């Protein structure tokens, strides 16, 4: 039988003054955790209690106190992120010209009806997803949920080692599925981890987005931000992935209009922004326009 490590609970659960101190504090906690758990999938009752208390501490922490723990001082709340309705109207002439220039040589396509209420529930935002102070951000994770590069690494770095400790208890995640953890030092309250397909597989990618939204609703959370899942090194064509993302979110919001306040598509590259600006006019049209994308 493995003996439990001896470390003071006061050190684990007391408030900590800044992100650096918190990271050192959690590194100590994570080291102790590894010493006696062997990173088992389920963890012992003691391990689960430690992690749950750590997570609950952050979820119940006063907002001004928690902001002192953010990795940097930059954060954005939902009211600071334009809705798609406002985004489009502010840049209408540019967006319409860009859209028609892009779609001119393509065949006719389907388009969705104008719904001003749904258009107020979605946003395009170019920035760092770890800066969003919302209910949940989505992590494009690997199947082991152990952190990695890109968005995955950035989220783990900003959240602190407690996120890795909690992920180690989840037993990994299948492609197309999603699992939720605390956000710890992140501005976001929670992280929803999903594993995208490698290469083009629309069924699995759709499952990523839909399952994340189902987790959000099941946990009675109201706002979420998605990165571009499976593009980049996972090899999913960027425009094809955007079609899947927007179609899935549009359909889910139509089916559950009262359960979600905001879905933010968090973009990093300029080409991603252009693609989403064009396709949003197909899936979330602000005005009646025949589309060719």
Domains in the chain with CATH codes? 9-67 (no CATH), 78-283 (3.40.220.10)
Q: Contact 27/12 with Cβ under 8 angstroms?
A: no
Please give the pLDDT value at position 182: 98
Q: Which among 215, 263, 288, 218 has a CA at the least distance from the CA of 118? A: 263
Q: For CA atoms 143, 227, 208, 41, give the dihedral sign.
A: positive
Please give the pLDDT value at position 41: 45
Pairing of the two strands 178-182 and 136-140: unpaired
Which run of H or of E encompasses 139? strand 136-140
Please give the pLDDT value at position 32: 43
Please give the pLDDT value at position 1: 43
Mean pLDDT, consecutive 10-residue segments, the chain of 293 residues? 39 48 50 44 67 94 96 95 98 96 64 96 98 99 94 97 96 98 98 97 98 99 98 95 98 98 97 97 88 52
Q: Contact 272/94 with Cβ under 8 angstroms?
A: no
Please give the pLDDT value at position 34: 46
pTM, rounded to two decimals? 0.85
């Amino acid at each position: 039988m493995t003996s439990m490590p001896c470390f003071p609970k006061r050190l684990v659960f007391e408030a900590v003054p800044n992100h650096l101190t918190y990271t050192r504090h959690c590194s100590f906690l994570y080291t102790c955790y590894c010493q006696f758990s062997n990173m088992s999938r389920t963890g012992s009752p003691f391990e689960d209690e430690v992690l749950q208390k750590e997570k609950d501490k952050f979820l119940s922490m006063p907002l001004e106190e928690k902001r002192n723990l953010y990795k940097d001082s930059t954060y954005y709340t939902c009211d600071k992120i334009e809705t798609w309705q406002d985004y489009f109207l502010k840049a209408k002439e540019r967006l319409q010209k860009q859209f028609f220039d892009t779609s001119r040589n393509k065949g006719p396509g389907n388009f969705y009806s104008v719904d001003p209420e749904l258009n107020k529930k979605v946003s395009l935002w170019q920035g760092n997803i770890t800066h969003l102070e919302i209910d949940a951000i989505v992590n494009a994770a690997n199947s082991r949920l152990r952190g990695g590069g890109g968005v995955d690494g950035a989220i783990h770095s900003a959240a602190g080692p407690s996120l890795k400790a909690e992920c180690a208890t989840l037993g990994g995640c299948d492609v197309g599925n999603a699992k939720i953890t605390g956000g710890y030092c992140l501005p976001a309250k929670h992280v929803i981890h999903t594993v995208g397909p490698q290469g083009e597989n629309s069924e699995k990618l759709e499952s990523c987005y839909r399952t994340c939204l189902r987790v959000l609703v099941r946990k009675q959370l109201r706002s979420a931000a998605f990165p571009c899942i499976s593009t980049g090194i996972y090899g999913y064509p960027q425009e094809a992935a955007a079609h899947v993302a927007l179609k899935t979110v549009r359909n889910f919001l139509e089916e559950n209009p009262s359960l979600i306040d905001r879905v933010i598509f968090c973009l990093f590259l300029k080409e991603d922004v252009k693609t989403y600006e064009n396709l949003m006019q197909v899936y979330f049209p602000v005005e009646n326009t025949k589309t060719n994308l």
